[in-house]
Amino acid sequence: MKRTHYCGALRASDAGRDATVMGWVHRRRDLGNLLFLDVRDRSGIVQVVFNKETQPEAHAKAEQARSEFVVAVEGRITKRERANAEIATGEVELVAMKLHILNNAKTPPFPIEQEISASEETRLRYRYLDLRRPKPHRNLALRHKILLEMRKTMDEMGFIEVETPMLTRSTPEGARDYLVPSRVHHGKFYALPQSPQIFKQILMIGGLDRYFQIVKCFRDEDLRADRQPEFTQLDVEMSFPRQEDIFSVIENVMVRACAVANEFRDIREGDAPIVVGAPFQKMTYEEAMCRYGSDKPDLRYKASIIPLDEMVSAGLIATLGISCPLVGFHFSQQNLRIPNSLSKTAIKNIVQTVVEQADKNIPEVSARSRSLGKPALFVDWCLVGDQQQILRSPALAEAMANKTGATKGDILFLGALRGENDPKHKYLVHRCFDLLRNRLKDYTNEYDPKRWEFLWLTNFPLFEWSETDKTWVSAQHPFTGIVDEDLEKLESAPWEVRSKGYDLVLNGVELGSGSIRIHRQDVQERLFKALGLTEEQLRRRFGFFLDALTYGTPPHGGIALGLDRVTMLLAGEKSIREVIAFAKTTAAVDLMAESPSAVDQIQLEELNIAIPWERVVTCGTCGARWKLAGYKFSEVGGASQRFRCGSCQTDTQVLVEPGVNIAVEKLDS
RNA sequence: GGGGACGUAGUUCAGUUGGUUAGAACGCUGCCCUGUCACGGCAGAGGUCGCGAGUUCGAGUCUCGUCGUCCCCGCCA
């Protein structure tokens, strides 16, 4: 028996031909002597009809069929009298001659339908059922096509895909590593790569000139909707590049990826095609922070933050106990999406929410609020022409209106922080107004969610202040290049030094980041000194790489794009879990595979690994409390053991892990 | 590590100031039905109210703890 057609492929033009389809029973409609089965495969659904009079055997078998049974149907493609416009194969049906039930199935925990109602937890646990739905198919196919197009594009531009090790060494920089114990070298560990950073730079030293790789990376950090512990990057590095060269490589890749995505979007209703043009917009980090309060601004909303320092008198600032910088924001009522949706009460609520949100989500703000005993974020606002006052000053409101072109009815916001200005938190109030801007965007036509706004962010600061270490630390990895004219400030004013690092942002989502690297040894040494790294620390952290750098390193630079995020956005999804076949939960658990899991004792023994174990036991007879401590090999197979109380010599049953060297200690009661 | 939301039938949910036998829809099982297409009709099964303590005459409901899922901060390119 051979499959001749995919279910979704049958058309009126095939009428009269015989066909054999194979797939899952999507739905059964039993009318007694007439029975319909909708049969589904990857391509779609076709209706199969069973008639008791003409094909009693097939009909009898169809009566046994249930949801998700796997079947093969031999029959004749027949034009229907009344077509079903809802499905692609609706003009025809398969008149069954034979039905083969290839496998039966338990009733699925949720129906296999386009629009899923089951919780994400259930979907992840039964991922193989969730994957039978058309949308996961589409997302995975889109992902495949994007990655394929990227490989083709990179190849055409002369890049060579080189694989780098998955079992490599831990570097204490950056994220926490996933460690892999070595059986051969007791007590030593490989690390899974956080990224192939060092290797790709070494490939440049190796003269590869243009490298790329679509590669899994691993970071043992907490998860988010756009973050999984393992994720896929398009990793790129090239020799002798100008920043523009790297930008145009990625622009080329992304424009073609968007074109691929458009082929998928056309089949969905209400999806506007993605329109993008290269080159993408560019903005420095400083400009982004000043105008949007974010290093990944969503440019689908045009309105930006207005600097107000020079418009406000020092006296007024002193009176209110606020500090520079002061920022403003202009909301134009002319572009209000729903008329009258922004009442004074609504604005008040927005302002209050923003103040609360800043307090909650920006640690520097909440710390300041705590020490002040009141919200650190100060926000004032007015309606232009309505007893217009900002900071109790009609003149200031008018000046603001003049500067922003605000007209009657428009809303002006002013924000500042209470307390002293702190140069370490230069953009703190801007970041608060990023929250305001995000809250207002849903009210205005100036925000167009259908647009696709790519943005390059450049000149990131080289250092950032670490509150935990109370010092300036490298904002990216310590091989990030330094803007030439800022080199002299490396020792005197490190916070002003700009790097040759850049990010690619799409619609407020960071897609990737990279940099032109340092290739000169003298600059590298100065940077290490500025970071306060000793020779010994450097050796320990970067040993072999420092050696490599001394053998004629060419100028080089690169970037890495997060492909899960790229696919997520192009698929129109809100979580990368929707574009990953087997995703993990926010606790980094695979609910289907049930990983991570305990392992056999023998495996741990081979690796010389023991896991500390501890339990407090209270004696049932005399009430004495004992701490049992030891090492277990795994969480499986706990067993009841007899424990003799040292005080009253009574035996009690205690659940003890299979372990060694159990130590007993009496606790004070 | 911190904050928030949620957890009741296979699934999605409702469940009043704490009060008799915990409900609905879909799904499932059986019977009837020859043109359905989310088929329809009749009948039926299905519950450790996540788990554990506590308050109470009485807890799905209140309190504490714990586990799980999701979102956010920290963390993370």
Per residue in A517-547, pLDDT tens?
A: 999 888 888 888 888 888 788 887 787 888 8
Question: Mean pLDDT, to the nearest integer, of A27-37?
Answer: 96
pLDDT level of residue A594 (50, 70, 90 thresholds): very high
The confidence score (pLDDT) of residue A123 equals: 95
pLDDT above 80: residue A435: yes
| Protein-to-nucleotide distance from the CA of A145 to the C1' of B26, whole angstroms | 36
Tokens of A293: 């309060």
Give the distance, in angstroms, between residue A643 CA and nucleotide B9 C1': 43
Q: Which nucleotide is nearest to A90 (CA to C1')?
A: B37
Among residues A422, A327, A319, A315, the alpha carbon closest in space to that of A368 is found at A422
Nearest nt to the CA of A95 via C1' is B35
Would you call A444 helix, strand, or coil by DSSP? strand
Packing angle between helix A428-440 and helix A363-372, nearest 10 degrees?
110
Q: Residue A518's CB: how many other CB atoms inside 10 A?
A: 24
Q: What percent of chain A has pLDDT over 90?
A: 61
Give me the CA A200–C1' B67 separation in Å, rounded. Answer: 43
ipTM beyond 0.90?
A: yes
Average pLDDT over residues A119-128: 95
Predicted pLDDT of residue A7: 97
> What's the pLDDT score for residue A228?
97
pLDDT band with cut points at 50, 70 and 90 for residue A658: low
Instruction: List the beta bridge partners of residue A382.
Output: A412
Distance, CA of A46 to CA of A60 (rounded, Å):
20
- Interatomic distance A441 CA / B54 C1' (Å): 48
- pLDDT for residue A305 is more than 80: yes
Asked whether the predicted pLDDT for residue A158 surpasses 70, the reply is yes
- What pLDDT sits at residue A268? 55
CA A595 – C1' B17 distance (Å)? Answer: 46
The overall average pLDDT reported for chain A is 89
Count Cβ atoms below 10 Å from residue A122 Cβ, excluding itself. 16
Using the structure, give the distance in angstroms from the CA atom of A118 to the C1' atom of B16, rounded to a whole number: 28
Residue A457 CA to B8 C1' — how many Å?
50
Nearest nucleotide to A66 (CA to C1') is B28
Nucleotide nearest to A590 (CA to C1'): B69
Confidence (pLDDT) at A457: 96
Read off the pLDDT of residues A177-197 as tens digits, 9 standing for 90 and up. 999 999 999 999 999 999 999
Strands A281-284 and A454-458: parallel
* B3 nearest neighbour residue (CA to C1'): A360
Q: Which of A147-156, A543-552, A641-650 has the lowest mean pLDDT?
A: A641-650
Quick one: which residue's CA is nearest to B40's C1'? A31
Enumerate residues 6+ apart whose C-beta is below 8 A from A357: A435
Q: Which nucleotide is nearest to A225 (CA to C1')?
A: B71
Residue-level pLDDT at A642:
66
DSSP for A409-441, please give it. T-EEEEEEEES---GGGTTHHHHHHHHHHHHHG
Length A231 CA → B2 C1' (Å):
26
- Is the peptide bond prior to A423 cis by the omega test (within 30 degrees of 0)? no
- List the beta strands (DSSP E) in A53-117: 70-79, 92-103
Any idea which nucleotide's C1' is nearest the CA of A175?
A: B76
Give the three-class secondary structure for A100.
strand
Distance of A520 CA from B42 C1′ (whole Å):
85
Higher pLDDT, A659 or A510: A510
> How would residue A266 be classed by pLDDT, with cut points 50, 70 and 90?
low
Q: Please report, rounded to whole angstroms, the spatial distance between the CA atom of protein residue A517 and the C1' atom of nucleotide B77.
A: 15
A11 band by pLDDT with thresholds 50, 70 and 90: very high
Q: A471 Cβ partners below 8 Å, 6+ apart?
A: A465, A532
Indicate the angle between helix axes A535-549 and A197-205, nearest 10 degrees. 40
CA distance A246 to A455: 14
Beta carbons within 8 Å of A395's beta carbon, 6+ residues apart: none
Asked if pLDDT for residue A320 goes beyond 90, the answer is: no
Q: Beta A659-667 vs A189-191: how paired, if at all?
A: unpaired
Q: Which nucleotide is nearest to A31 (CA to C1')?
A: B33
Residue nearest to nucleotide B11 (CA to C1'): A110
Q: Residues 6 or more apart from A617 whose CB is under 8 A from it?
A: A625, A626, A627, A628, A643, A652, A654
pLDDT in tens, A394-416: 888 888 888 888 888 899 999 99
Asked if residue A458 lies in contact with residue A415, where contact means CB atoms within 8 angstroms, the answer is no
Q: In what order do the strands lie in the sheet with A454-458?
A: A160-161, A210-218, A230-239, A556-562, A509-516, A501-506, A454-458, A281-284
Report residue A661's pLDDT band, with 50, 70 and 90 as the boundaries: low
What are the tokens at A402? 């003049």
CA distances from A81 to A91, A93, A368 (A): 8, 10, 74
| Mean pLDDT calculated for residue range A116-140 | 94
**Nearest nt to the A503 alpha carbon by C1':** B77
pLDDT > 70: percent of chain A? 94
Q: Which nucleotides of B are covered by protein (CB under 7 A)?
A: 1, 3, 10-13, 26-29, 32-40, 68-77
pLDDT (tens digit, 9 = 90+) per residue, A470-507?
Answer: 778 888 888 999 999 999 998 888 888 999 999 999 99
Quote the distance between the C-alpha of residue A606 and its chain's center.
36
Residue nearest to nucleotide B77 (CA to C1'): A513
**With 80 as the cut, is the pLDDT of residue A583 above it?**
yes
- Nearest partner of A430 among A496, A358, A523, A370, judged by Cα: A358
Nearest to A68 by CA among A41, A104, A94, A102: A104
At residue A95, the pLDDT reads 97
For chain A, report the end-to-end CA distance as a whole number of angstroms. 76
Please name the residue whose C-alpha is nearest to the C1' of nucleotide B4: A360
Q: What is the mean pLDDT of residues A75-95?
A: 95
- Spatial neighbors of A474 by CB under 8 A, at least 6 apart, are A462, A463, A480, A527, A531
**Is the pLDDT higher at A621 or at A116?**
A116
- Contacts of A56 by beta carbon, 8 Å cutoff, 6+ apart: none
Looking at residue A475, what is its pLDDT?
85
> Measured in angstroms, what separates residue A121's CA from nucleotide B19's C1'?
35
Report how far residue A24's alpha carbon sits from residue A104's, in angstroms, rounded to the nearest whole number. Answer: 10
CA angle A139, A222, A571 (to 5 degrees): 15
Structure tokens at A227: 């973050």
- Tell me the DSSP string of A217-280: EE--S--BTTB-SEEEEEEEEEES--HHHHHHHHHHHHHHHHHHHHHHHTTSTTPPPP---SSP
A467: nearest nucleotide, CA–C1' criterion: B74
Residue A669 has pLDDT above 60, yes or no: no
Protein CA A474 to sugar C1' B39 (Å): 66
From CA A541, how far away is CA A522, in angstroms rounded?
19
Q: Are A592 and A638 in contact (CB under 8 A)?
A: no
**E strand segments, A479-521:** 501-506, 509-516
| CA pair distance A248, A245, nearest whole angstrom | 5
pLDDT digits (tens, 9 = 90+) for A211-256: 999 999 999 999 999 999 999 999 999 999 999 999 999 999 999 9
Nearest nt (C1') to A109 (CA)? B10
Residue by residue, DSSP assigns A304-356 as --EE-GGGS-HHHHHHHTEEEEEEEEEE-GGGBSSTT---HHHHHHHHHHHHH
User: Distance in angstroms, CA of A363 to C1' of B74?
Assistant: 8
Residue A637 has pLDDT above 70, yes or no: no
Query: For residue A510, which nucleotide's C1' is closest to its Cα?
Result: B77
User: B3 C1' – A367 CA distance, angstroms?
Assistant: 15
| Helical (H) or strand (E) element with A559 | strand A556-562
| Separation between Cα atoms, residue A123 and residue A110, nearest integer Å | 8
Mean pLDDT of A55-63: 96
Residue A641 has pLDDT above 70, yes or no: no
A607 has pLDDT over 70:
yes
